[in-house]
Amino acid sequence: MTTPRPAPCLMVQGTASGAGKSTLVAALCRIFRRRGWRVAPFKAQNMALNAAVTSDGGEIGRAQAAQAEAAGVEPTVDMNPILLKPEAEDRSQLVVRGIAVASVDFDEYARMTPLLLPVVAESLARLRAGHDLVVIEGAGSPAEINLNAHEIVNMRIARLAAAPVLLVGDVDRGGVFAALVGTLALLEPDDRARVRGLVVNKFRGDRRLLEPGLDELARRTGVPVLGVVPWIPERLVPEEDSLVLEAPAPRRDPAALDIAVMKLPRIANFDDLEPLAAEPGVGVRFVRARQDLGAPDLIVVPGSKSTVADLGWLRAIGLAEALQALAARGTPVLGLCGGYQMLGATIEDPAGIESSTPVASGLGLLPVVTRFACAKTTRRVRARVLPEAGLLAGAAGAEVTGYEIHAGDTDTGGARRPFAVLERGGRPAAGHDGAVSDDGLVLGSYLHGVFANPALRRALLVALAAHRGLAADPRWGTGPAIDPYDRLADIVEAALDVGAIEKLVQP
């Protein structure tokens, strides 16, 4: 009996973090899916605080979940077998095949990589056995020669998968030609030969201005330029890298709703707010200083990988005091996951699960108490919005889906609850999630991803507009006219020589 041949692989690597690898992999997943391929994404090791939950309760990078959606397949832990979630400057939580197993520093992780590489290989083999094509994403740059001895995400994976590599450079940062040539120059000859095409990403303007440089680039490197992808102003794929938060906030219409998000040092799952930012007349900005807070229509305290430490940071720079003062004057406040925990009365951590502080005082905006525990909760949730949901009450009765990623439990006492839980981890469940203040203006919830639900999104924005005395926009909650992954694929397919790329992976 003949053993089926493993599916071919295509790898996308970049000259630096933020070059656009995640977006291009998502685009290629949709492009090849539309051409009839059964596609799966793969990233051996991801370092990110934006995470998603698979159907079996595993935790993977949010980007790989989005790429799976673009490919039209259910995300699995094999698509991102190793996830590192930074906890401090020198430590990260290590998640292996969806399960948090340790907290490690760089040296500890480096010593573990020989044991982790077989895990990566097994996950990749399973994906190749079940699909026609696996599109692999690298991390950072393959030219980070100081990390080559222990890397298990760039050229070591290209060798493992026998994958041709597309090397992507970000022209918007400047120096793209030097970045591409320099990256190739630092690769070992065998690895350099794996790079079969160059892609210039995030170009604004007339492509003709690039042509002399593109010709010289191909002449100097011997590698063809397979496309120039334009700058895409729309947010079509959930952001993975917090580098995006460093960009200046776009100018905002004075009449728009203003949502201010605390840019915590260990901010997690900030993509929760992207559906709101995509709505017309809504501005979402990230705040790191008291003087930048202003008088927003909504303050959001987002998720955090280090809740107590980030709460201490809010206090140290005066944002906690400013938030409390605005809340006392009637400014609506929303806390998500770690942010929900911060809004409560106290956070207890007697076993030192997350910090060395046994009991920390919260912001006191909700009458809830959180107690950390060793077990980590990661599961998908289906819930119904309750009439007492405060800012979300306009969606009462609607069913929403989301997911939980948190340590510890929160005792809500007699607080009003925004959500009735119908299903957890794919099984029928009873209970509630979250808490609402007596005046309905402060709300906390453990549920990530719920604002992807149009009814919930519209309910929140209508409530905020009414609170400010503005008319609601009839477009809120109607959703995009075209699937964002199709929109992304249309743009990228028009910019790349997809025929040449397809030839690279023909069996």
| Three-state SS letters, 190-201 | HHHHHEEEEEEE
- Is the pTM value of this prediction over 0.85? yes
**Measured distance CA(145)–CA(171) in Å, rounded:** 22
Could you tell me the CATH number of the domain that includes residue 359?
3.40.50.880
User: What pLDDT score was predicted for residue 380?
Assistant: 96
Q: What is the rounded average pLDDT for all residues in the chain? A: 93
User: What pLDDT score was predicted for residue 250?
Assistant: 52
**Measured distance CA(502)–CA(379) in Å, rounded:** 37
Asked whether residue 102 is domain-assigned, the answer is: no
Helix (H, G, I), strand (E, B) or coil at 31: helix
* The residue type at 214: L
User: What pLDDT score was predicted for residue 241?
Assistant: 58
**Predicted confidence (pLDDT) at residue 376 exceeds the cutoff of 60:** yes
pLDDT tens readout for residues 276-298: 998 999 999 999 999 999 999 99
User: What pLDDT score was predicted for residue 1?
Assistant: 43
**Predicted confidence (pLDDT) at residue 252 exceeds the cutoff of 80:** no
pLDDT tens readout for residues 144-181: 999 888 999 999 999 999 999 999 999 999 999 999 99
Say yes or no: 264 and 161 in one domain.
no
Chain centre to alpha carbon of residue 38: 24
Average pLDDT on 68-94 reads 94
Closest CA to 323 of 243, 264, 274, 239: 264
Say yes or no: 298 and 395 in one domain.
yes
Considering the candidates 9, 29, 406, 448, report the single residue annotated as catalytic. 448
Q: Would you tell me how many other CB atoms lie within 10 Å of the CB of residue 184? A: 21
Average pLDDT on 231-242 reads 78
Buried b (16+ CB within 10 A) or exposed e, 90-125: ebbbbbbbbebeeebeeeebeebbeebbebbbebbe
Closest CA to 226 of 214, 209, 235, 210: 214
User: What pLDDT score was predicted for residue 240?
Assistant: 65
Say yes or no: 124 and 164 in one domain.
yes
Could you tell me the CATH number of the domain that includes residue 180?
3.40.50.300
Say yes or no: 402 and 268 in one domain.
yes
| 84 within 8 A of 43, measured Cβ to Cβ | no
| Enclosing domain of residue 26 | 9-44+60-73+116-235+486-504
Asked whether residue 495 is domain-assigned, the answer is: yes
**Predicted confidence (pLDDT) at residue 4 exceeds the cutoff of 90:** no
Considering the candidates 29, 131, 337, 406, report the single residue annotated as catalytic. 337
Say yes or no: 464 and 494 in one domain.
no
Asked whether residue 408 is domain-assigned, the answer is: yes
The reply to whether 448 belongs to the active site is: yes
Say yes or no: 273 and 380 in one domain.
yes
Q: Is 27 left (phi over 0), alpha (psi -120 to 50) or beta?
A: alpha
The reply to whether 406 belongs to the active site is: no
Closest CA to 403 of 436, 386, 378: 378
Per-residue pLDDT band for 56 (boundaries 50, 70, 90) equals very high
Say yes or no: 227 and 363 in one domain.
no
Residue percentage of the chain with pLDDT more than 70: 96
User: What pLDDT score was predicted for residue 251?
Assistant: 47
Segments in 258-394 forming alpha helices (H) = 274-277, 307-316, 319-328, 338-342
Pseudo-torsion of CA 238, 242, 247, 249, nearest 10°? Answer: 60
Segments in 430-478 forming alpha helices (H) = 454-468
Say yes or no: 205 and 288 in one domain.
no
Say yes or no: 310 and 450 in one domain.
yes
User: What pLDDT score was predicted for residue 243?
Assistant: 47
Backbone φ and ψ of 137, nearest 5°: -105, 135
Average pLDDT on 174-189 reads 96
Token readout for 327 is 């809340």
Asked whether residue 374 is domain-assigned, the answer is: yes
**Predicted confidence (pLDDT) at residue 481 exceeds the cutoff of 90:** no
Per-residue pLDDT band for 246 (boundaries 50, 70, 90) equals low
Say yes or no: 434 and 308 in one domain.
yes
Asked whether residue 474 is domain-assigned, the answer is: no
Cα separation values, 375 from 91, 99, 272, 353, 371, Å: 19, 10, 23, 10, 12
User: What pLDDT score was predicted for residue 237?
Assistant: 85
Q: Looking at 131-140, 370-379, 486-495, which range is the least confident one?
A: 370-379
Asked whether residue 95 is domain-assigned, the answer is: no
**Predicted confidence (pLDDT) at residue 304 exceeds the cutoff of 90:** yes
Number of domains making up the chain? 2
Say yes or no: 211 and 167 in one domain.
yes
User: What pLDDT score was predicted for residue 71?
Assistant: 98
Q: Which residue has the higher pLDDT, 234 or 299?
A: 299
Pseudo-torsion of CA 101, 105, 107, 110, nearest 10°? Answer: 40
Say yes or no: 290 and 221 in one domain.
no
Q: Which residue has the higher pLDDT, 374 or 317?
A: 317
Asked whether residue 167 is domain-assigned, the answer is: yes
Asked whether residue 49 is domain-assigned, the answer is: no
User: What pLDDT score was predicted for residue 205?
Assistant: 87
